[in-house]
Amino acid sequence: MRNSRFTSVLLAGATTVAALAVGVAPAVAAPSDPVAAAASPRDQDVEVFAEDGAISRARVPAASPFVAEPSMGVAAAGDGAVTKIVNNGSTDSKLDVVMIGDGYTASEQDKFRKDAAARWKDISAVQPYATYRKLFNVWAVSAVSAQSGVSGDPQQSTVRKTALGSRFWCNSIERLLCVDIKAVDTYAAKAPQADLVIVVANTAKYGGAGYGSTQSPLGYEGIATVAGGNGASGQIAVHETGHSLGKLADEYVAEGQEPYRGAEPAQANITTLSADRMRQDKAKWYRWLGKSSPDGGAVGAYQGAGNYPSGLNRPTDNSVMRSLGREFNLPGREAMIAGFYRRASTLSSATPVTTRLTATDHLTVDLPVSGTKLRWYLDGKEVTALRDRRTIAVSDLGPTGPKPAAHELKAVANDPTSAVIDPALTPALTRSLVWSVTR
């Protein structure tokens, strides 16, 4: 392996030398040239959100011409500092949201953390976040900018060199707030784990963007940009997490699209099938058909979805996957909860499962979601007296044998929510932890 890598490095080097020798201009453009940046092969498909809730799409450069040059390796005080602004437990049992500030100077980092906390409050007030908010940790990563504010605010001509290069008027659309993807990754890498990245820009002007797939090597699935001082823009992150966490498709129609003629798509909230056909085939959201949905109306098959005007149907008339500021519909809510449980657990404990418990020990488990049912089992047999008790003493487990012996103690938690009814998804609603006990 070492040899072949060495060979390819040599070849790459030779190619570069050859290109320079024949006078071919290097493809790398100066970072301050927006036109060259627009020609980058790493252009991104983003979503644009109007203040009235309408959503559309645009293609934008991955780079920003307004990223501040690093000051010769001398980091500003506090740059890259990581603070936990919402702490619900260890990262392995939680979903980790990473919020990165842009356009905040060294003396404005407290303001950044306040803005980030406020935007998280807006996001987590929406269902199913409100019920499941304790499954999340929120980290604030400080990116110190030399200048306060972001480009394009208040005027299109306003230029501010900032850590992430945030700019309004991206693709000539005033409310489209773009960032430099590479700069975002540099800061996101500083948090212990990123399941979701939200860039908080130092502005009160309405705007934002949804980057669906940035193919970040860090493994998170999308970036939402929001205006730190604008309550409505937090909803942009809610829609984007519909894609990243819920694996949901858009339910809006993009301008100028032909009817859909493709195969049945994979996403849970769009289908080529009619309501009758879903019922017959027991397909897609047939279990929810006719039920009253939190976003209004009954679940059915509404024409136009996945950006197509026809050929694809959506579950309800107007959910958050169609318009900003709305609720998820029933199939969407189910997919979101399943997505939460893919990365977070309904049961955790500060006592590692590798701990060997003895007769005098106590054990506490955390059930982050209200309504979760808990059962305790000793060697496979339920200790019914301990049902739903979060803290137990090993001595509560009943009489011991004549000699101390090793036993298996198991806690099983189940979230009995009626919001998840697909049998393929319900196993994730149950989690267990096992300790070994000597008593």
CB closer to Zn ion out of 86 and 223: 223
* Shortest distance, position 239 Cβ to Zn ion, whole Å: 6
CA 234 – CA 247 distance, rounded (Å):
19
Query: Nearest-CB residue to Zn ion?
Result: 250
* Shortest distance, position 211 Cβ to Zn ion, whole Å: 11
Residues 368-387 that bind Zn ion (CB under 5 A): none
Residues 6+ apart with CB under 8 A from 251: 269, 270, 304, 305, 306, 314, 315, 316, 319, 321, 322
* Shortest distance, position 45 Cβ to Zn ion, whole Å: 10
Residues 390-419 that bind Zn ion (CB under 5 A): none
CA 177 – CA 199 distance, rounded (Å):
10
DSSP for 229-295 reads T-GGGHHHHHHHHHHHTT-PPP-SB-TTPPPP-SPPPSSTT-BSS-HHHHHHHT-TTGGGTTPBPTT
* Shortest distance, position 44 Cβ to Zn ion, whole Å: 13
φ, ψ of residue 371 to 5 degrees: the values are: 95, -5
| Residue 244, both tokens | 């990243």
CB closer to Zn ion out of 48 and 86: 48
Stretch near Zn ion under the rule CB under 5 A, chosen from 134-142, 149-157, 243-251, 329-337: 243-251
With CB under 5 A, what is the number of residues at the site for Zn ion? 2
CB closer to Zn ion out of 60 and 357: 60
What Cα–Cα distance (Å) separates residue 58 from each residue in 318, 330, 403? Answer: 22, 29, 71
Residues 23-52 that bind Zn ion (CB under 5 A): 47
Chain centroid offset of residue 108 CA: 26
* Shortest distance, position 61 Cβ to Zn ion, whole Å: 20
Stretch near Zn ion under the rule CB under 5 A, chosen from 86-94, 250-258, 336-344, 426-434: 250-258
| Residue 184, both tokens | 């975002």
CB closer to Zn ion out of 221 and 415: 221
Sole binder of Zn ion in the list 102, 122, 250, 415 (CB under 5 A): 250
* Shortest distance, position 210 Cβ to Zn ion, whole Å: 6
Q: How many beta carbons lie within 10 A of that of residue 358, not counting itself?
A: 11
Binding site for Zn ion (CB under 5 A): 47, 250
